[in-house]
Structure 1
Amino acid sequence: MRAGEVLVQGEDLGAWTMAQRVGWDALTPAQQWMLDSVLGLEPVGEAEQPPARRTQADR
């Protein structure tokens, strides 16, 4: 386990949270509402966008 990592039933909550925020537009309105209303999550902002993944060809 890495420092600062929080696991619940084997799931890294930090990674899960970021995945929800990055993929916000792919979520249903009900899912967005739940994340916002219950957990206080919002979609990632411009400054928080993770770097684009490089393909094998790019490397």
Structure 2
Amino acid sequence: SSQQWVKRFQVPWLEWQTQTEMPINLDGEPITSKQQRFEVHAGALNMVLPDACPMLR
């Protein structure tokens, strides 16, 4: 089952480091890096959702 390879976490940030350059796509811009950190800032994204959207519950 593919579930053994997939892990789900809810964290405010994610950081990793690799021994070789790793390709990453940032908003359509390809880059390579050995170290990356991604953060989520509360309220930083404005979203337009329908009133019945389950995310609003």
Query: Scaled by the length of structure 1, what TM-score is found?
Result: 0.23
Q: Which has the higher strand share?
A: 2
Which structure has more relative contact order (CA 8 Å, sep 6+)? It is 2
- Which protein is bigger by CA-based radius of gyration? 2
Q: Which has the higher helix share?
A: 1
Query: Scaled by the length of structure 2, what TM-score is found?
Result: 0.24
